[in-house]
């Protein structure tokens, strides 16, 4: 194949409806031609969280328009595409069905190959699109539904090292924001106020810090914030800012400790010396977390990589790119590809001891 491939990506796994067109050159570099994202937060605001049925309907209402917009922005017609990629999981089943069926219908009508994409794989490979980095690397994936460290050995080859035993990190940010009366999504709201607060005022726990297994836990931290908030009632603006700053500092500290353990483990497991540390997913937008993890990488002699903020959160450029990478390997999927609400990147990984129920996004 000596020309570029053009891939349409479709993302509907949670509360962002997105369509994008990405070009992949014969040498493997990527370029975003269009990247359209519509967030549904307004539709869910009154409920304080994502309502699956509302999410599915909202995707169905605008996905065709977004695809039209992405194609127009990219200057491509359907006939120009080489393949169509849609998220098949993991995520909320109603939304996944909307995106997957739309992608299949377009592929059938335009006679194009179809790719059913794992949303987590798309987060994991985004750094190849934005900075050209190729596996192997150690990945911290932190989003609203997932918190994992993975050894990314190649496209389709992932070894999970650590995972959360309770809440995902983004979920912990969202729940903390909710209990402090802040808007959703909670991560950016907590980060904004943390910048105004005193991180040393509250001594919050660093769950699992020092443990040998590189797992994560955030439920206890969130409960500690709740206890402080109740003790301080009525909360003043300063109290809220100090709680946000103390929470964010505890998170950064705990996650950095857990990633240090994952780096040790990855070094033992990988055949070649570990050279790169990548952070992906919505929470990778957090500046304090990025700074602490960059410090860890540098202390361990690893290069540090994180995608631009706009591509940390859910988007369809990452879906198109994962599709392009798989397509370049000659992999395509049938039109009978199922939705997979649960779809771990490393199916052989055991559940972390003590893990319990996960949130709606898990």
State the residues that interact with ligand KG4 by CB under 6 A.
14, 143-145, 170, 173-174, 185-188, 191, 281-283, 285-286, 313-314, 361
Rank residues 14 and 352 by Cβ distance to ligand KG4 and give the closer one: 14
Least distance CB 345 / ligand KG4 (angstroms): 13
Contact flag: residue 35 with Zn ion (CB under 5 A): no
Q: Which does 286 bind (CB under 5 to 8 A by kind): Zn ion, ligand KG4, none?
A: ligand KG4
Rank residues 106 and 140 by Cβ distance to ligand KG4 and give the closer one: 140
- Cβ distance 124 to 316 under 8 Å? no
Least distance CB 167 / Zn ion (angstroms): 15
Q: Which does 104 bind (CB under 5 to 8 A by kind): Zn ion, ligand KG4, none?
A: none
Work out which of 17, 35, 118, 143 binds Zn ion, going by CB under 5 A. 143
Q: Which residues pair with 116 in a beta bridge?
A: 86
**Per-residue mark of binding to Zn ion, 262-301 (x: CB under 5 A):** ----------------------------------------
Rank residues 6 and 17 by Cβ distance to ligand KG4 and give the closer one: 17
Rank residues 145 and 162 by Cβ distance to ligand KG4 and give the closer one: 145
Stretch near Zn ion under the rule CB under 5 A, chosen from 175-183, 214-222, 247-255, 314-322: 314-322
Contact flag: residue 314 with Zn ion (CB under 5 A): yes
Least distance CB 132 / ligand KG4 (angstroms): 22
Least distance CB 289 / ligand KG4 (angstroms): 7
Total of chain residues touching Zn ion, rule CB under 5 A? 2
Rank residues 99 and 106 by Cβ distance to ligand KG4 and give the closer one: 99
Rank residues 15 and 314 by Cβ distance to Zn ion and give the closer one: 314
Place of tokens 């994008």: 20
What burial class does residue 8 get, using C-beta atoms within 10 Å of its C-beta: 0-12 exposed, 13-18 middle, 19+ buried? Answer: buried
**Residue ranges with strand state E in 45-118:** 83-89, 114-118
**Residue ranges with strand state E in 40-107:** 83-89
Q: Which does 285 bind (CB under 5 to 8 A by kind): ligand KG4, Zn ion, none?
A: ligand KG4
Least distance CB 280 / ligand KG4 (angstroms): 8
Least distance CB 186 / ligand KG4 (angstroms): 5
Neighbours of 27 (CB within 10 A): 8
Q: How far apart are CA 14 and CA 330, in angstroms?
A: 28
- Apex CA 292: angle with CA 156 and CA 362, to 5°? 45
Contact flag: residue 248 with Zn ion (CB under 5 A): no
Listed in sequence order, the residues at least 6 apart from 121 whose beta carbon sits closer than 8 Å to its beta carbon are: 155, 156, 158, 322, 345
Q: How far apart are CA 302 and CA 255, in angstroms?
A: 17
First and final C-alpha spacing in the chain: 38
Nearest CA to 249 out of 220, 283, 278, 289 is that of: 289
Contacts 24+ apart (CB under 8 A), 289-295: 289/142, 289/248, 289/251, 289/252, 289/255, 291/252, 292/252, 292/253, 292/255, 292/256, 293/140, 293/255, 293/256, 293/259, 295/256
Residues that bind Zn ion (CB under 5 A): 143, 314
């Amino acid at each position: 194949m000596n020309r570029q491939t053009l891939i349409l990506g479709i993302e509907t796994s949670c509360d962002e409806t997105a369509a994008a067109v990405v070009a992949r050159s014969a040498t493997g570099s990527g370029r975003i031609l269009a990247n359209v994202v519509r967030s549904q937060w307004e539709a869910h605001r009154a409920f304080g969280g994502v309502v699956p049925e509302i999410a599915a309907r909202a995707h169905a209402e605008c996905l065709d328009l977004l695809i039209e917009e992405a194609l127009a922005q990219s200057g491509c017609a359907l006939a120009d595409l080489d393949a169509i990629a849609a998220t098949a999981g993991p995520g909320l089943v109603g939304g996944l069905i909307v995106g997957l069926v739309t992608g299949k219908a377009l592929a059938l009508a335009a006679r194009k190959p179809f790719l059913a994409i794992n949303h987590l794989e798309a987060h994991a490979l985004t750094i190849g699109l934005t900075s050209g980095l190729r596996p192997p690397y150690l990945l911290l994936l932190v989003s609203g539904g997932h918190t994992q460290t993975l050894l990314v050995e190649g496209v389709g080859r992932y070894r999970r090292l650590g995972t959360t035993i309770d809440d995902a990190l983004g979920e912990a940010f969202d729940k903390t924001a909710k209990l402090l009366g802040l808007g959703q999504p909670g991560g950016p709201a907590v980060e904004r106020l943390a910048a105004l607060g005193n991180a040393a005022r509250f001594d919050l726990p660093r769950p699992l810090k020092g443990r040998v297994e590189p797992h994560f836990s955030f439920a206890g931290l969130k409960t500690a914030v709740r206890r402080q908030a109740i003790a301080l009632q009525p909360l003043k603006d300063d109290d809220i800012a100090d709680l946000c700053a103390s929470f964010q500092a505890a998170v950064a500290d705990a996650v950095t400790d857990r990633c240090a353990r994952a780096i040790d483990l990855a070094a033992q497991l990988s055949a070649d010396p570990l050279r790169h540390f990548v952070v992906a997913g919505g929470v990778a937008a957090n500046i304090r977390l990025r700074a602490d993890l960059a410090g860890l990488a540098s202390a361990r002699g690893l290069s540090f990589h994180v995608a631009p903020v706009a591509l940390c959160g859910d988007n369809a450029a990452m879906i198109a790119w994962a599709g392009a990478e798989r397509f370049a390997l000659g992999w395509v999927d049938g039109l009978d590809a199922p939705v997979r609400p649960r779809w771990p990147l490393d199916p052989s990984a055991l559940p972390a001891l003590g893990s319990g129920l996960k949130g709606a996004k898990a």
